[in-house]
Structure formats: structure tokens, C-alpha cells
Amino acid sequence: MKPAEKILWVVAVVGFLIGLVGLVQRITGGHTVAAYNTYVPWGLWVAAYAMLIGVSVGAYLIVALAYGFRLKALQPLGRVALLTALSALAGGLLAIWLDLGHPARFFKLFFSTNVTSVMGVMAWLYVIYGVLLLVLIYLTQREVETGVVRTLSLLGLILVVIFGGAEGSLFGVVGAQALWESGLTPILFLVEGALSGAALVLFLAVLLGRLEADAGQLLRWLVLGLLLGLVVLEWAEFSTALYAGIPARSESLRVILFGPFWWVFWFVHVGLGLLIPLLLLIFAGRSRAGLATAGGLIALAAISTKLNLVIPALVVPEFEGLKTAFTGLGLTFDYFPTLTEWLLMVWVVSLAALIFLAGYRLLKPLASHGG
């Protein structure tokens, strides 16, 4: 076991044990341990769900390029990408399951599915996607004929584009929230997910010693292209909305840019998630350390984009006077995650990391055959 892998194991185990405190508090205290309320019903756990599902989508992009489009340079990273996609999916679904008011009733989504409901259809798409990932892991482990793997990989790419965009549509079709309601929202989800997932695969590939020179440069330009694409999309969203000055939308954007947690956007998202990785990829892109740092920072800062999507839209009243019209317990537009919320998120992410590391250990004997 390489030293970097040992460090990942230690970090994941420590995070899992510390996060158990949050899990116990969530089980025993229900939703009273969270800071969301009547006006702000979604918080950190929904943001974590959206982020992890996006990471899974991005990691699967590498799978499709390696096996579906047969890019030989990426094939040694195929199983790393598959495990990343599977563990991120598991973590994302666990995060949203723990956020449910009645987690034990989740099965109703499957047995009472409304085919016109984006959420209902996505529940089935997640199951199909999870099964597909397990099948691909099995087939690549057994080194089954490449034509089968290629066909399934390409079908999976269609699937992730559908549910990755549909995840954005969960927000984009909410007409009552001007910040969310946009045809650009599903596209942003796809690009953000592709970026964070590809960046995480790049980071893990360097740390685990799986990154060869050709693959490193290919991933470098892929991540750089996605990063620049995200900058263009965000500029289009922010500039047009602020110029138009429609209060319902511009006020939420001002909360993101200049509100109480302005530093999440400027320091975490722009600084750590965009600017520093951009410079590293351009000027230090041939260095393994530079690639790993860029990928790690993008993956780490990915939560900021989802926090800036979920919360600012909810902390701005839908109409003037609502904030003072009613008073009482839970009737507030203020929100900041409690310690329990952060701990539970640490537990979910750590569990996802342990799933990845356990899978990587089990598949390691065949690592020399491409992944």
C-alpha cells in the first residue's frame, strides 16, 4: 500500500468516526438538530447530495471516454473512475435519504412513482445507474469482451446526461424561486458535475500512482476546458441577471456576492475552485503535484457551488413584507448549518471514501490490466 493510500485510509476512518456523532444526533434528534426551518427547508445535506451526484456524473465521463470511446490513455484509470462514480452516488443518495422527513418511506418513490415527476423518475434512474456501475465493475474485473463493456459504457453516458440534467431540473422548474428557474440550471449542473468528478479522478490518480504522462495531459486539458466552460456559463448567468435587475433574482445573486457569506463565493469558489486551479493547470500542468493540487482544490470547493445555489434562493423572501408578516418558532430567513449538519456531512463523505478505498483494495490484484 502506497503512503498516499495509507493517508487516505486514515483521513477517511477518522472522518467516519468523528462523523458518527452527527449520525447519532440525527437519528435521536430527528430534524431538530438542523438549522433549516419553515422558510429555509433545504440546507447543507441537500447541497451535499447535489454535489456528490455531480461528482459521480463527472467521474463517469472518464469511464465513458476510457471504455466507450476507447481512449487508451485513460483506460488505466477506468476502474478508479468507476469506483469514484459508485462511491459518490452512494454518498449522495445517503445524504438525501438522511435529509428526508420520513426516511423509512423512501420506497414509496418506487411503488407510487408519478411519471410526470422529475424526482420520481430520477429515483428509478439512480437505481438503473447504480446497477450499471456494478455490472461494469464486474465486467472489467473479469475482463469480459470489450464490445460489451463499450456498449454499456456508452449507454451509461446517455443515462448520466439525462439524470445529471434532471437533477438540475429539480431546481430549474421551480417557478417560485427566480434564482433556480432557468433553462441554464440543468446545463450548469452537468458542467459543474463533469468538472468536479473529472478533477477528483485526476487527484486520486496522482495520489494512487495510477496517472501516466499521456493520461495526465489528457485529463489536464479536459479539466481546463470544463473549468473555462463553467466560467463562461457563470458569467452569463450573473451578468445578465444583474443587468436585468429583476428583484427576485438579482437579490439572491447579491446575497451570493455580497451577503453575510460572501467569502464562500469569492474565496472558496472563485479563489480555491477556479482561479488557483486555472493557474496551476496552465503553468504547472506538467507537474504531478500541480495536477493533484488543481484537481483536489476543484473537488474540495465543489460544495460551494451547491451551497450558493440552494441557500441564497431561500433566504430572500418571495415578496416584500413576508419576513415581518409572521413571527414564531422556525419563521426565519436566517440559516447556517449546525455542527450536527457538518458532522453528518463529514460522515457521509468519509463513508463514500471508504467505499472507494475498499473497492480499490479488492480490485488491486488486476490493476495491471487497465484500471
Instruction: Find out whether 213 and 77 touch, Cβ atoms under 8 Å.
Output: no
Q: Place 371 in a pLDDT band, splitting at 50, 70 and 90.
A: very low
Higher pLDDT, 119 or 217: 217
What percent of the chain has a predicted confidence (pLDDT) above 90?
A: 63
Higher pLDDT, 369 or 33: 33
pLDDT digits (tens, 9 = 90+) for 52-68: 999 999 999 999 999 99
φ, ψ (nearest 5 deg) of residue 182 = -170, 145
Q: Is the pLDDT of residue 365 over 60?
A: no
**Segments in 143-212 forming alpha helices (H):** 146-172, 184-207
pLDDT digits (tens, 9 = 90+) for 227-280: 999 999 999 999 998 988 888 888 899 999 999 999 999 999 999 999 999 999
Closest to 197 (Cα-Cα) out of 170, 154, 161: 161
Higher pLDDT, 160 or 104: 160
Q: Place 366 in a pLDDT band, splitting at 50, 70 and 90.
A: very low
Q: Is the pLDDT of residue 368 over 60?
A: no
pTM of the model: 0.93
Alpha-carbon span 38 to 97, nearest angstrom: 19
Alpha-carbon span 68 to 130, nearest angstrom: 18
pLDDT value at residue 201 = 97
Is 3-369 in CATH node 1.10.3720.10? no
Instruction: Find out whether 43 and 33 touch, Cβ atoms under 8 Å.
Output: no
* DSSP 8-state assignment for residue 334: -
pLDDT digits (tens, 9 = 90+) for 77-120: 998 999 999 999 999 999 999 998 888 888 888 888 787 777 88
pLDDT value at residue 182 = 82
Give the chain's mean pLDDT: 90
Q: Place 285 in a pLDDT band, splitting at 50, 70 and 90.
A: confident
Q: Which amino acid would we find at residue 233?
A: L
Q: What is the mean pLDDT of residues 221-229?
A: 97
